[in-house]
Every structure is written in structure tokens, then in C-alpha cells.
Structure 1
Amino acid sequence: MPSAPLPACAPEAQNPGTATGDSALLVPDPAQWISTTTGRIAPDTYTWLQAVHWVRDSQAHTPARTHGPRFGSTTIRIAELLAQLTPCRPGVDYLVRILQVSERTVQYHLSILRESGLLTYTVKGTRIRQAAARASEFVRTIPAKFDETIGLRTATSQTFIRTVVGVVSYESRLTLAQLGKKAARTVRRTKRRGTRKAGINSSAKSSRCTPMGAGAVTSSPVAPTNNPSEGDLGNGKDQQDPPGKRTRRKLNAVGRRHQLALELVRQVPWLSGSPVARIAWAVRHLADAGWTAHEVIAVLAQRSPARRVHRPVGFLTARLVGAELLYDTSAKRSAIVAWWRDSPQAAKERHAEWQGTWQAPRSTAVQRLFRDAWTRATRREPLVALDEEPTSDEHREARTTAWRQYLTGRPELVTSALALAGRDQTEQIYGRDLVERVLRLRTTSSHLRAGIA
């Protein structure tokens, strides 16, 4: 019987130095996706932090670049934050604000986690012109090198790609225990950070980059609140220390112009998507005179907009010519705002969506995609019928794919099958457990969406 592999934290491997040969851990870019990864999905954040500390202690990761930082304490700090996010959608700005490091440093360490096989892409972030940038979404994974080095026996799993079924040797159990202590300290340290006194930094740490605006820690619940003593309640006064005062920085003239322009872009439909800097230039005279967004909208509401606006900034400039001279006092501006709020025509325009003429996209690639989608929609091809009795291999592959997409927040396969084939046939294909989970998710809350068929 072959001897068990040497654990990473054994005495002979305490100072491995730079990993070379078979011990090197470097996941190439094509294998950093959930569909191509060789690792397995971490069942919880505690197990994932064990793998993170193993890579740190053994120095198994070999970076692809010759410059930049290495796997160290900053990488551990980023991993602590990623362990709190559900789903794991870490915006770079969020990590920069919490860690107080540069944007380039965050990008370096996220790349290190991907190359180590600890993070796997689900959706890669994009930067679309005239639209909000989307953060990349990851799945916390455990590299196969960790299982091989520690000595873990794994088997195929429909939920986690692979699951642990046993440990090879006693030394492997000791190594896992040592890594478990470090992971537990990380979880406890993260919990203590959430119980600090409210302030500027703590308010920023409470935010989570999730669709609901707040994340959930899957490995450690929120610490319970201690009850106050009965003696402190006699005077009826609040004995809690007041939170730190946030001093808001006063805006200069340029800042007031951009603030007014941003409010107009958000509230005026036909200005949506316009550059804020150009809008700020168009309303510079009004901002310097102390105008508010409601006053500007009231002036624009005196005349209904054109059916089609080719140049929103130029159209806005023409509508506001001489407005600061005509309404030169706050009383005049208050009167025009009162008229705007009480006018039935203005109320109708406020509640009606902007009915502008549809404009074709300028990008040739988007135009080609639109033409292809329109051709497929108008062709009305018949739906492909499912096989009545698929083979066991097809069953296993379909269920594994559906489970992976459900764990990453995209159960469109199940929802589309429910709409096309019904619940009975969907349960035969994907299993009753997965179908019930998707149906329960769709009816849990209006803030959660499980996909649209």
C-alpha cells in the first residue's frame, strides 16, 4: 500500500520556501471559471478559510508574474471579507474603502486568489459605456492540490462538484486541526469587528455587495446583544454613547454644479445616460445662483419636450437660456415650483414614462445581436421535444449542471423547464429536491428572484 502524502503543515514542510515542481499551485486563466475548474465548491466558509491558510502557510502558490505582491497577510484580510459576502460579489471600490489600500493592490490579491484556485469566476465584471460597472461574481472553491497534499479522499457530488468522504492518515487529521484553529480565529475576529461602536468606519463595514444591499455571514451568525443593567434604566435617559459625528465636507462651486447635474440625470427621463460633466456645464449659471433640481424641472415642465431628443445636453441648454435672469429671486422660483406641483398636466408628465422614439444602437456588434435575436423571434421555430427516457449519463449531467447554476444564483434551467414541461416532468429530469428549492426561493420574498423563464 503506498504511503500517504506528506501534509503541508508537517515538520518537514514548515518552511517550504518557493514551491517548485509538483508542489507548485498555479491555475491558468481558462481554468478560473466554474465550468472549467478542477477544484471543488467549498461547502462553507470555515472549510474555505482552511484552504486559504494552507496556501499561505505552505507557500504553494507560484505567481505568474515576476512583480507585485505575494500571498500574504493582505490576501488573508481580503479572504476574510470575501467570506462574509453572499453572494461573493466583491466590488473593488468596496474592498479599497474597507482595507484602506490602493485599487491596484486589491486587483493583485484577487488575481492571487484566482490563480490559487480559491476563487472561481461565475460572472466576470464589465464596464459598459454610459452604464454602471458590474462587479465580478465568484464562487469560493478549494483547489485539488489541497486535497492531494493534505490527504483527503473525495467523491463525485452533484452539489459541490466533489465532496470529502474520508481522511487518509492521522497526520492529515492533525494538519486539518491546525488549519481549523486558524480558520476559527479568523471567523471570531470577523465577528468582533461587527460588534464595534457605530462610526464612520463601522458604517462602511456593515455594507455588503449583494443585490439586497446587505450580506450574510454563512459561517458565523451575528453576535447577540447584551441586555443593559437594570440600574441604568432608572433615569429614563439613553446611556449609550453617541456615535461619532460625521462632518460633511462643504461643496465648492464645481461640486454644486455636478450635484445638480446628477440629480437632473436621475429625475429627468430624457436626460438619462447623459454625461454628468456636460450637464454640469449646461446648468452652471443656475447652480451658481442656488437653484435646486425641483426648480429646474419646474422650468422645463412649462413646455412639453419634443417627441425625439437627438442631443439632450443641447436641448437642455436651449430650454434654460435666460432662466436665471427671469427667475432671479427665491420667491419667483418657489411660485414656479408650486405651479409645477399643482398642475394636472405636469402631474401627468411626472407619472408617465418617457415615450421617445426608439433609436437603434450605434455599436455594430449590438446591431448584429439585435438582428439575430429578431430573426429568431420572428421565425417561430418549434420547440425541441425532450426524450421520454433519457439515459442515466444524461440525467447525471443535466442535474449536475442545474445544481451548479442554482448554487451560483442562476436556476434558469429549472424555471424554464417548469414553464415548458410542467412540474412532474421537471422533477423527473432535475430531481424533486432541486425543484422544491427553486419554487421555495421564488415564493420566499419579493426581493429574491430565481430567474425568469
Structure 2
Amino acid sequence: MSAVVALAAVIVPAPRPAVDDAVAVTVLPGLFVPEARQWLSTSAGRIAPEGYSWMQAVHWVAWSGLYKPRRHRSHGPRSFGPTTVRVAQELAQLFPCRPGIEYLVRRTGLSERSVEYHLGMLREAGLLAWIVKGTRVSGGPAQASEFARMIPVEFDVALGIRTVQRDEDAPAYTRAASGIAEAGRELMATLARKASRKVRKPRAKTSSKRSATGARKAAEQGVVTAVLDETRCTPMQVGTSTSSSAAGTSIPPESKLASGASEFSTPKKSKATAGVGGRRKLNKIGRRFQLARELTEQVEWLRGCSVPRIAWVARGVADAGWTVSEVQAWLHVRGEATRVRRGSGLLAVLLAGAVTVLDTPAKRAAAVEQWHASQEARRRHRIEAVRAERERHDGAWDSPADVALKRELEVAFARINDAARNLHPTVAYGSDDHAKAGTEPFEISERERVSMREEAHAQLRLGSTDLIEDMVYALGCTEAERLFGEDLVRRAQQLDGFSRSSLTTYQTQ
């Protein structure tokens, strides 16, 4: 052995002993999927079962830094950052995943070229795979591409996720997760929290102090794996060993692999901002606008008014906790309005002093009961009025007010009844078979005939044909024409036909 070799043996330390596989750091190459393997049939990844699990993989790619766009192209975005995650959030909500470029531009606010860049980055990172590639035919509508949301193999390896192929005849991309290594549960919980939050568009201006603080926090948290040609360590020491304490557990769904307060719980939303029934509790301004909206919907003369203006006018009663029923009861106490030119102004006048007069809930409840009782009484009065009108319209014929004319009509009706009783039993009332039955025609004096004609003519002016119809029914059309004249009988028949038609209306003046 030469002196140089002996000196090197002294300086170079002995190799370190091998560590346990469960705490070893996995070194993964940079993520990149060539264009030929960006199709579902040629992809090495597996299909994500839902958008939540896919967003965990998206956040892992953005966090790990395994995918560097500028390693493969000289243009476009420099890194897989929050903008790419925002585009992925829109894709996670589509079923099936058929996003149009115009749709993503409208949803994200990016340019068309930027959307195309970020879709290409998701494909190159192994997170998207083409099922159908869209086409643009000249003169025809453009067809959107259909993608499959994929989970890269590197994600399963880094977190120790075990997969199983339940159907041997199915393609390899249909394999499903069957478990996760104990060392990857904490990281999966972090990714679950990130996937449950929505990444929004960052502000235009950020301070350098905040950026430095964020970089320092990211450096303290560490990354998932070490990247080739770069020194990346992780305090979680994620390994790829197949032996794990969780090997004997049951197979959970992939959406339940995150650990929060317990091993298999999902992050829960805080109840601090939740009100009754899961809704947010309204503040003072919200209660004003809610009461104003209800007033514009339920009060007749407030419809069409500006809701913000009504909210300002009714701010006193809204802050006092009044409901819309209590406000309507107070308006009933102040008096009903029939003609209103400016609803907000009238409301301001009527609500003056309302909080002072009805200053307790008991007084407001009593006002509401009084208002309901008034509404019920009004409803009953309206029903009775309609019923009385129908009975008057459908009832018997009203006799004239003139005493002399009334006496003459009574004598005439008595003669009509006597003549009707003398008819042959087989002859019906109103027929023209009096001559066949052997009866004599009905005779009245000329004075009575003129009086009846005048009464019938006056009734026709008012749209009533009762007198002529009664005579036609009792004596027949021939005797009625002899008594009133053909002109009056014909006009009465025409008016009666018009009144029964649904296509004709008439009114009296």
C-alpha cells in the first residue's frame, strides 16, 4: 500500500450504517410526463376517486417542488404555484371534467394563454390525462377536451399509500388506495386541510416582510421528499417500506386518510360564525335589510320601493327587534293608506314614535292580535257582501216601487195564474198550443198593457229581462209578443243570449 492510499484511508471516514426503512428519506426524480404519456390509456398514475383526494395530490405537487416547468420549456409560468391550484379547484368541481377555455377564463380571470399554460402544467405533472382531446373545426363550434383527474405514482410512493387492483381485468389506472403508512398520516392531514380551503386570487401588492415570513415558515415546515440534484430534507422522514403498523387495519376510503383531531376525521368548520340552523347570524345592518325586504314584499304600497331606502327609514324598529308582522300591526293602528305617492316618505311618517309607544314585546304582541282580528273581520265582511250580492242577483224578481203600478202588476199576475190553471193538463207552460187546448187568449186592458210595456222597456234599459221572460214562460212567445210587442220580446231574447255568453260583457250607466 502506497503512502497516498494510506493517507486517504485515514482521512475518509467509514460509511454510515444503514438506517431503518421506515425513517429513510426517499429521493424522487423531478416530476414530468411527456406528451405521449398524457393520455389515460398510457398514464402511469391512477384515477382520483373524487375532487377532494385529487386536490390533496395537487397541493402535494405544489408543495414538494418536484415539478419545474422551466426545466422543459423556456416560456410560461416559472413554477407550480397558487394560480395553478386555482385552476385545479375549478376542474375539481366538474363532473365530468370537460372544461372549456372560455369557461376557465371567466371563472379564474386569467387570459386564454395563461389557462392553456396551466392546463399543460397539470398534464406534465401527471395530474391530468386526456380522455378526449378537443378539436376546433373551421366553421363549426369548438369541442372541449375531457380530462381524467389523476394521482401520480410519486404521490403514493412519497406518502406510503398502498394501492390494490380489485379487478384483474381492469386497466392499471383503476387501482384504488387500500391504506397508508403511519409516517405519512401527518402529512396527509396537512394536505387535507389545504384541500378543504379554497385558494383565492392573491393581492396585487405584498410586503417584502410578509414574503420573508412566509418563506421562513415554509422552510421550517419542510418538504415531502428530497429532489434529485437538490438538497431537500424533511423532518417527517417519509419512507417507502412496505412494513407498517397500519397493515392490519381495515381498508378506508381515500377521502378518510387524513388525520385531524382523530386518526380518520376530516377538518370541521368553526361554529363561531354559524347561527341557528347553520346560517350566519345577522348583524345590525343585516337585520335592517331583512326587515326592509320583507316589508317591500308584504306591504302593498311599499312594493317597488328601494330596499336600502326602506332599511334606512325602518332602522329604528329594526334595531329594536321588531318583526314584519309587528310593523304591519303598527301601520294598521296608524291607519290604512289608499293612495300613496311616495312609500318611503309615508313609512317614515307612520313609524314616528312607534318604538316609544310599543316599547315592550307584550304591547307589540297585543297590537299583532288586534291586527289579525281586524283582518279576520274584514274577510268575513267581504264574504258576506259577496254572498248577499249573489243572493240578490239570483233571487226573485223585485217589484216596482210605484204603488199603482205594483197593484196593476199584481192583478195581471193573478189573471195569468187563473189562465194557467184553466189550461189543459197536458199542455206545458210557455207553449203556443193554447188554441189546440181550447183556451181563450189572455186579455188585459189597454192601460195595463201600456204600463207593462213601459215597465219592460225600463228594465231592458237596466239590462234586466225578467218580466218579459216570465211572460214568455207563462203565456208563450205568441201571447208575450202580443202583450209587449215583437220588438221588445226580440230585444229581450237577444240580451238574454248575450248575458249567457262568455265572450260578451255589458254594463249599465
TM exceeding 0.5: no
Q: Of the two, which has the highest radius of gyration?
A: 2
TM-score bracket, shorter-length normalisation: 0.3 to 0.5
TM-score by length of 1: 0.39
Highest RCO, 1 vs 2 (Cα 8 Å, sep ≥ 6):
1
